[in-house]
Structure 1
Amino acid sequence: MAVALTMVQMKVAVLRHSMSGQRAGFVAIGAVTGLVLAGATIWLGLSGAEVLAATYAVWMLGWIFGPAFAGGGDETLRPEFFTLLGLPPRRLAAGLLVSAFVGVAPAISLLALVGLTVLGARQGLAAALVSLPALVLQLAVFVLLSRVAVALLGVALRSRVGAVGAGLANGLVLALLGQIWVVFVALGQSGGVPPVVGTVARYLPSGWGVAAVEAAASGDWGRTAAALAAMAVLVVLLLAAWAALLTRRAGSARTAPGGRAPMRATTASGAVLAKELRTWSRDLVRTHQLTFALAYGVFFAGAPLIIGIPVMLPLAGPIFVVMAAALSANLYGTDGTALWLTVMTPGAADVRGRQHAWLLTVAPIAVVLTVALTAVADGSWPAMLALLVALLGGGAGLVPLASVYALIPGTDPHRRGGNPLRSTEEDGAVTGMVYAVLALASLTAVPATVVAVLTGWPGVVLAAVTGWACYWWFGLLAERRLLARGPELLETMRTGRRPAVTVATGRPGKWTRYEALPRRERIIVGVCYSIGALPLFPQGVVPAIIKLNGGDTRAWFLAMYLPPGLQWPTIFFMIALGLAIYATGVIIPFRYKAGESQQNADEPAEVPAT
């Protein structure tokens, strides 16, 4: 107990001192999104046990596979920190487990599990009382499943087969979660949740709490005790498994086995190209990311086949390109302090070499996917080729550009811990960069794709022009930035601390950078950019398209549940609301003007060396 309480105090102290600057904004965004999802889950407690059990299965999958997308999950306290204390593995695991309940994600999940109490309260006092230990045990199961999954993934990333397998599994699950509307439509077509889905969801660990509450409501106390005991036993088994996996964590970097063929490059760009190609083939973290992007693209585009819609299949290649660009956007950050080699070698042509290596790694796979699936689905060749060409050029330009303009300090590859996915301390910043590059890369293909849809093959020509322009111009900007600010970027990589920025004042002026805004405004802007898409697209644009095409699919579209006379007004209101939220996020930076040059209040001031 003393070890657990000490670790809880340590985590609280770390979180208290780290909730500043950009990280606080990302935490606020995640909290707002999580509260919305938790509220929706509690509301589903009124809909019946089948729907609630299926919803908790989705929460469980999020806990298991979410860390693969978010850089390894929350590891504020790592096992490596306590190696020299000589704690037994089970005591260390128990202490880390207790500290894992401190944070935003566990609190939101606990709130979502209140749906068990809502379900039980509708069926009597006894069921409501049983729901209290059930939701605590259910949360412990979620947290431990997440920790064991991260530990297993770390073990898997020690071999090429494991890295590929983990990438395929993560890509499949997250793609299906991203296309959850397909499941809703399929359920709507079948008249609700099929009985088999509710039965399977109850047998999953995420449904044992629902089973306990239902049994208590019917007076079957034997089944109630069995369900609660099963969760308690599972917690003990998962804790033991996690303790065993903690002993296998190591601090050395892992690379895929490969030959030692010498580099025969004769130019600086060729040397960078050869080095990067070897990194893409030998670094198991990059292997995992590339496999994840490929699996996500294929499964995301193939998910609508569940309801008999094949039109998205040709998009597998373009989705793969966008996801690969987003996951590799912090290219220089993941290299660590090796950046000094570039800084100390003028004219090294580093940016162009990295662009060529990225294209040679991603383009062949994307071309094969797009051509094959377009032929299978009988898609539009001009539109698909224009989209692919434009995205390849945009991705090749944005990857180095985002990396040097928004570099996130990372861990040197040879110092990566037992969780290889955790290459940086700033998980929120990395997640924000991924989403930003996803959006920007998609925007680079909009002009050419629109022209291809309207005119046909001229759009492919325009895609070649815009793709080459993005590749050349963005690469040139990145190269100039690297040459001009190389020492500052290296200092950021070495210390993990960004240079001081001026704090903006409340006077109108030109556009103010996000990090120069006051903390409250940063949080507001971040929340606006995060939730603006919810009313605009899922509740506004998509139902408008459904109505224009004469469909009547309800799924989770609010307007489709209203009387016909209120559907279009609701759609217009949701579109206006989404645009207003985005406009708020854009207008706020114009209200602030850079004030006197001073250290950012959110960052600790450095003490000059004596």
Structure 2
Amino acid sequence: MKLAVMRHAYRGQRAQTAGTGAAIGVVLAAGTAYLGYLNPDWLAAGLAVWMLGWMLGPVFMGGGDETLRPEYFALLGLSPRKLATGLLAASFVGVAPLVSLGALAGLLVAGVRLGVVNALVAVPAMALQLGVFVLLSKIAVAVVGVALRSRAGAVAAGVVNGVILSSLGQIWVFMVAFGVTGTPAAVWWAPSAWGLRAVRGEWTFLLALAALVLVLLALWALLLGRRAGRPRVSGRGRRPITAGTAAGAVVAKELRTWSRDLVRNHQLAFALAYGVWFAASPLILGWNGMLPYAGPIFIVMAAGMASNLYGTDGTALWLTVMTPGATDVRGRQLAWVTTQGAIAIVITVVCTSITGGPWPLVLALLAALLGGAAGLVPLVSVYALVPGTDPHRRSGNPLRTSEDEGGLTGLAYLMLALVLVTGAPAGIVAYWLGWPGVVVGLATGALCYWYFGRLAARRLTSHGDELLDTMRTGRKTGRKVEFAHLSKARKNVAGLGFGLGAIPLFPQGVVALLFLADGKADASWFLATYLPAPWNYAVAIGFVLLGLTMYGSALWAVRKRPEADRITA
């Protein structure tokens, strides 16, 4: 069944995305296997990274591989243990397990170097180690699914995920703080290294791996039984919405959704935790230069989380489409600013007060990004809507709001880039001129809020039927970018621009400028910080222009040309 589903599912763009991911995975797996020849300490560390990837990746990507869901077998009367065993066997069919098995070939390489017996032990160790990886992934997703059945669990999961992802983004802080001098002893005690220890002669760890697989299988079976339950619905009465206008009704509905929907609770908590921890983690090194930017970072991440705002409605979008003149876009904008803006203002004021500034730059970014995000959230959602799953049809992990995980990820990254662009003019003026940048930020924020909202409302009115059909069928209709019809040169330009444009624009450009503004020198891998003035600023600005040029070139490459329209017609 798994093979049949994969054979029909991986076609077109989805097959290309899977192929690209598989190619990258093969390269990483080959590098990990080569570590078995170079150094066992490095192999242990590499396998620990693979284990973390199996545990955290599916959680952040919306549930991982659920080609076969437990709900499909509900009428067969299988016990949770039998169901878990069958699903575990099916989980080994796929690209990710095969690539991971290639990485685990490092155990075989290490065993061959030690002797025949060690090489023979490596074979079952590889299989058991892969079983541990897959089961840890399943348990991580199941635990999140159980946690997200309550508002407290959704918030807690959002905080944990936000802290973990922001820590990975600021990994240089922890590398500098704790040093990178060899492999920590804890790596050798992690389950990811038990197979390697067995290959190196500690045979009891092979038995420990087998026992761990059985324990994890039993735990997953228990969690599968919990998955069948339904969230408890409160029996308390709810105050009716008594708004006097159509826009007021939309605002009230959206505010209730932001406070009650578990997915939005998780998204808000995730963005808040990410922004605060990302800006506060350099305090470990005694540097508070990023702390004032916690609020702007929160706004950018919150916008990325809400990039598919209309898509999360599911087929309930028909209520909006069939109510003309309801000013739905303006109502959603106001509700988004009310919920996210209040939090961003409090964070910004508190964090900037701790450091004493820079007030003009921070306030300019706050105003520009808040207005830009409030305008872009509905605009991106209606122009690049990703078909969502109706809330009552979602899988055991409520975070999986769509079957098109790649589309959601790409949409989120696009939103992050666009929101940052809306804050660039105000940030540049505030950096060079000070308080006039705040005026620019208020002006650009208000303009983006009004104009982008107007475009979104027009799009919703003119293409509402197409959006609803996309939501209902999962197939996009109407005018869209056809990458298959692009020339090879244009495909390369688009791929390089969209795929790599963020590297020079943000880390080497925007972040480097922030470091230079705070007098931070020799800051990890930011090239501009290693250069003397005025070349450091020139290089950082050059990277910003390079990133913008790459994104602009990519947009130019995929634009719809009139001659192409005539040929297609």
TM-score computed with the length of structure 2 as normaliser: 0.87
Post-superposition Cα deviations, 1:8-46, rounded to whole Å, max 9, x if no partner, equal xx2222222222333234324433443454455445556
Q: Aligned runs of 1:201-240 on 2, under 5 Å? A: 201-213=187-199, 216=200, 221=201, 223=202, 225-240=203-218
Aligned residues: 557
- Contact kept, 8 Å, 2:493 with 2:554, in 1: the verdict is yes
- Rounded Cα–Cα distance in structure 2 between residues aligned with 1:353 and 1:588: 35
Q: 5 Å matches for 1:23-172? A: 23-42=14-33, 44-45=35-36, 48-120=39-111, 127-172=118-163
User: Which residue number corresponds to residue 311 of structure 2?
Assistant: 333
* 1:263-274 superposed matches below 5 A: 263-274=241-252
> Per-residue deviation at 1:102?
2.5
> What is the deviation of 1:470?
1.1
The CA distance in 1 between the partners of 2:105 and 2:545, in whole Å, is 33
* Counterpart selection for 1:174 from 154, 160, 165: 165
Structure 2: gaps (5+ residues)? 531-539
Q: Which segments of 5 or more consecutive residues in structure 1 lack a partner in the other structure?
A: 1-9, 503-511, 561-570, 599-610
Change (3 A) 1:590 1:351: closer
RMSD: 3.7
Aligned counterpart, 1:192: 181
Q: 1:529 aligns with which of 498, 503, 510?
A: 498
Q: Is the 8 A contact 2:150 2:231 kept in 1?
A: no
Cα deviation, 1:151-202, whole Å, max 9, x if unaligned, reads 1111111111111111111111111122222233345xx4623xxx621111
Aligned with 1:423: secondary structure?
coil
Residue 370 of structure 1: how far off its partner (Å): 1.3
Write the distance in 1 (CA, Å) between the matches of 2:431 and 2:546. 29
Give the stretch that moved more between structures: 442-451 or 88-97. Answer: 88-97
Verify the 8 A CA contact 1:253 1:415 in the aligned structure 2: no
Amino acid at match of 1:72: G
Given that 1:324 and 1:362 are in contact with CA atoms closer than 8 Å, whether structure 2 keeps it comes out as yes
Q: Is 2:512–2:526's contact at 8 Å kept on the other side of the alignment?
A: no
Q: CA offset at residue 284 of structure 1? A: 1.1
| Residue in 2 that maps onto 1:310 | 288
Displacement of 1:63 in angstroms is 2.0
Residue 254 of structure 1 and its aligned partner are, at CA, apart by 6.9
Structure 1 residues 32, 258: CA separation in 2 closer, same or farther (over 3 Å shift)? farther
Q: Does 1:319 align with 2:305?
A: no
Amino acid at match of 1:529: F
Higher alpha-carbon deviation: 416-425 or 70-79: 416-425
Q: Matches of 1:519 and 1:428 in 2, distance apart?
A: 22
C-alpha spacing 1:371/1:346, structure 2 compared with 1 (3 Å):
same
Partner of 1:415: 393
Which shifted more, 123-132 or 57-66? 123-132
Partner of 1:508 in structure 2?
none
Other-structure match for 2:275: 297
Equivalents in 2 of 1:347, 1:11: separation in Å? 46
AA of the residue aligned to 1:589:
V
Q: Deviations over 1:426-473 (max 9, x none)?
A: 111111111111111111111111111111111111111111111111
With normalisation by structure 1, the TM-score equals 0.81
Higher relative contact order structure (alpha carbons within 8 Å, sequence separation ≥ 6):
1
Q: Which moved more, 1:581-590 or 1:298-307?
A: 581-590
Stretch of structure 1 that moved more, 247-256 or 78-87: 247-256
- After TM superposition, give the deviation of residue 111 of structure 1 in Å: 3.0
Identify which range, 356-365 or 14-23, moves more after superposition: 14-23
Residue type of the alignment partner of 1:209: G
Distance 1:355 1:251, change over 3 A: farther
1:509 corresponding residue in structure 2: none
Partner letter of residue 439 of structure 1?
Answer: A
Q: Does 1:357 align with 2:329?
A: no
The match for 2:382 among 404, 415, 420 is 404
What letter is aligned with 2:243? A
